[in-house]
């Protein structure tokens, strides 16, 4: 994903959505509010799903690790979902490389016209262009947080949904070729990020697919995660932002889901909103004290399994299940 900083765009978004902010809660988790269902979510299982992905190695398109991980994800979704689809496509990256890619889609209740989307990207960055060590900047990253954490949460969500038999149609989408965007040293016009979601969104628009809303997960595994109202999310789907952050706060997760605005991020949800015309929000870790605006390990070799926190995985997964349960 890429941060989007044009001042005029930020001002426009913030004026339109009129986000209000409040102080971050610093206390421990509160008891869930009365009247909200709080489903079970296994942090241990989600963590193992993250680890299984990183054990393959960097999941860069056109590599053996990428192919092996794809087979694993298809098999796991097949255990839980009613149907699984593989959307194979070739797409050209910023440097002309043809990326042999696949979006992986698991569906619950495919016959149900009322649907929601849960999504994450499953590929990892081909170079650690923000690593402090210059010698590492052309090396691929494990992407434990940036990619694998969201997929790990959604695989555990799928496992829980299979046991709960949801009454709403749910599509879990693992987007490919999200993180092959231009390195920090290259300034090249064009939409070089989120290539898999761009492909999926255009196909969805062409086939008439629709959903009530979508939730994208990106970097949801750090111990100090802070999820603000990402500005594109608030612009396109402020009611869904309110629903998700409201649920999280009722569950006592206000120290993670913070009711403050943050920068717009060029991520998969942007293209789902623009091209498929489906409201989708982004639950993404932004660090307002960081020079990059993202966690310290972002696009570095330190984005590995040692920096994944089970508590954060549980917070995000439980919130998603509660949103679904209380629709």
Tell me the per-residue pLDDT of 291-310, one tens digit each, with 9 for 90 and over.
999 999 999 999 999 999 99
Q: How many percent of the chain have pLDDT more than 70? A: 90
**pLDDT for res 7:** 44
3-class secondary-structure state, position 119: strand
Q: What's the DSSP call for residue 316?
A: H
Q: What is the pLDDT of residues 282-295, one digit of tens each?
A: 999 999 999 999 99
CATH of the domain at 143: 3.40.630.10
Q: What is the DSSP secondary structure assignment for residue 326, as one 8-state letter?
A: T
Strands 115-121 and 169-175: parallel
Measured CA to CA, the distance from residue 145 to residue 143 in angstroms comes to: 5
Stronger pLDDT, 40 or 162, i.e. the higher one: 162
- The answer to whether residues 223 and 312 touch, using CB atoms and an 8 Å cutoff, is yes
Determine how many CB atoms are found less than 10 A away from the CB of residue 110.
14
- What tens digit of pLDDT does each residue of 125-154 get? 999 999 999 999 999 999 999 999 999 999
Does the pLDDT value for residue 23 go beyond 70?
no
Model confidence over 109-119: pLDDT tens digits? 999 999 999 99
Angle at 71 between CA 68 and CA 73, to 5 degrees: 110
Give the separation between CA 169 and CA 106, rounded to whole angstroms.
11
Task: Give the separation between CA 315 and CA 258, rounded to whole angstroms.
Answer: 13
Amino acid 93: pLDDT: 98
313 within 8 A of 149, measured Cβ to Cβ:
yes
Give the closest residue to 58 by CA, choosing from 112, 124, 129, 134: 124
- Three-state DSSP class for 173? strand
Q: What is the DSSP string of 236-305?
A: HHHHHHHHHHHHHHHTT-TTTEEEEEE--EESHHHHHHHHS---EEEEEB--TTSSSSS-TTTTSTT-SG
How much of the chain exceeds pLDDT 90, in percent? 85
Considering the entire predicted model, what is its pTM?
Answer: 0.92
Number of domains in the chain: 1
Whether 52 contacts 59, CB under 8 Å: no
The band of 39, judged by pLDDT with boundaries at 50, 70 and 90, is: confident
What does the pLDDT look like over 268-283, one tens digit per residue? 999 999 999 999 999 9
Based on its alpha-carbon atoms, the radius of gyration of the chain, rounded to whole angstroms, reads 18
Q: Answer yes or no: are the C-beta atoms of 277 and 19 closer than 8 Å.
A: no
Tokens of 110: 């495919």
Q: How many CB atoms lie within 10 A of CB 211?
A: 19
- 58 falls in which pLDDT band (50, 70, 90)? very high
* Euclidean distance between CA atoms 147 and 120, whole angstroms: 7
> Mean pLDDT, the chain, as a whole number?
91
pLDDT band for position 165 (cuts 50, 70, 90): confident
The token duo for 174 is: 């693992």
Domain containing residue 140: 2-325
* pLDDT tops 60 at residue 21: no
Of 41 and 7, the structure prediction assigns the larger pLDDT to: 41
Least confident interval from 20-34, 168-182, 243-257: 20-34
């Amino acid at each position: 994903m890429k941060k989007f900083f044009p001042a005029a765009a930020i001002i426009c978004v913030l004026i339109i959505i009129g986000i209000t902010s409040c102080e971050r809660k610093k206390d421990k988790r509160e008891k869930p509010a009365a009247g909200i269902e709080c489903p079970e979510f296994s942090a241990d299982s989600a963590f193992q799903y993250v680890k299984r992905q990183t054990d393959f190695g960097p999941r860069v398109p056109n590599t053996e690790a990428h192919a092996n991980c794809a087979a694993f994800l298809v098999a796991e979704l097949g255990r839980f979902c009613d149907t699984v689809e593989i959307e194979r496509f070739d797409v050209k990256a910023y440097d002309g490389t043809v990326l042999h890619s696949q979006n992986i889609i698991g569906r619950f209740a495919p016959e149900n016209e009322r649907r929601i989307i849960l999504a994450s990207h499953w590929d990892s960055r081909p170079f650690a262009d923000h690593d402090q060590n210059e010698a590492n900047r052309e090396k691929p990253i494990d992407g434990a947080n940036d990619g694998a954490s969201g997929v790990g949460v959604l695989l555990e969500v799928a496992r829980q949904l299979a046991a709960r038999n949801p009454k709403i149609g749910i599509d879990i989408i693992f987007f490919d070729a999200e993180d092959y965007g231009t390195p920090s040293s290259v300034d090249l016009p064009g939409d070089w990020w989120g290539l898999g979601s761009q492909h999926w969104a255009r196909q969805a628009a062409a086939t008439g697919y629709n959903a009530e809303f979508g939730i994208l997960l990106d970097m949801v595994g750090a111990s100090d995660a802070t999820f603000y109202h990402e500005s594109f999310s608030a612009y396109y789907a402020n009611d869904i932002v309110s629903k998700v952050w409201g649920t999280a706060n009722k569950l006592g997760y206000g120290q993670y889901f913070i009711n403050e605005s943050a920068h717009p991020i060029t991520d998969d949800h942007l293209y789902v909103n623009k091209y498929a015309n489906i409201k989708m929000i982004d639950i993404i870790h932004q660090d307002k004290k960081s020079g990059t605006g993202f966690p310290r390990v972002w696009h570095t070799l330190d984005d590995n399994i040692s920096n994944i926190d089970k508590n954060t995985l549980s917070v995000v997964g439980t919130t998603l299940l509660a949103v679904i349960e209380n629709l």
